[in-house]
Amino acid sequence: MRSNSLAAIFLLTSLTAANTSQAASFNCDAQNLQPDEKTICDHRVLNDADVKMVTTFDLLSGLLAMGSRGTLQDEQTAWLKKRQACGADAACIKGAYEERLKALDETYKRINRPL
């Protein structure tokens, strides 16, 4: 019974996600989308990269101390300008996401953790 419930929840979540017109960081139905945003909305791989990047960024923001959090935000702002400079070039946008996710991963690895 429990596995059927989990399967149903997974299916419902998948169907809901498939029908959404929302990337992680902006509304794909907005009238004033920038060229990079339109491209992200039109390409599932880029939309998924956006979801992963925003989720990772949000999690890291919660783990970092105030000063480091400010640095992370400044880096995010600089990265966003770089992504926007790609315009509608999907390959450029994909590369920007790969670069940013790698940088966020490196930030995570540098967090001091108790032994």
Q: Which residues contact 45 (CB under 8 A, 6 or more apart)?
A: 94
pTM, two decimals, is: 0.77
State how far the Cα of 92 lies from the Cα of 99, in Å rounded to an integer: 11
Asked if residue 67 lies in contact with residue 43, where contact means CB atoms within 8 angstroms, the answer is no
State how far the Cα of 79 lies from the Cα of 71, in Å rounded to an integer: 12
- The pLDDT, as a whole number, for residue 18 is 45
Domain boundaries defined on the chain? 22-109
| Ordered per-residue pLDDT tens for the chain, 115 residues | 544 443 444 444 444 444 445 677 899 999 999 999 999 999 999 999 999 999 999 999 999 888 899 999 999 999 999 999 999 999 999 999 999 999 999 999 988 776 6
- The pLDDT, as a whole number, for residue 12 is 41
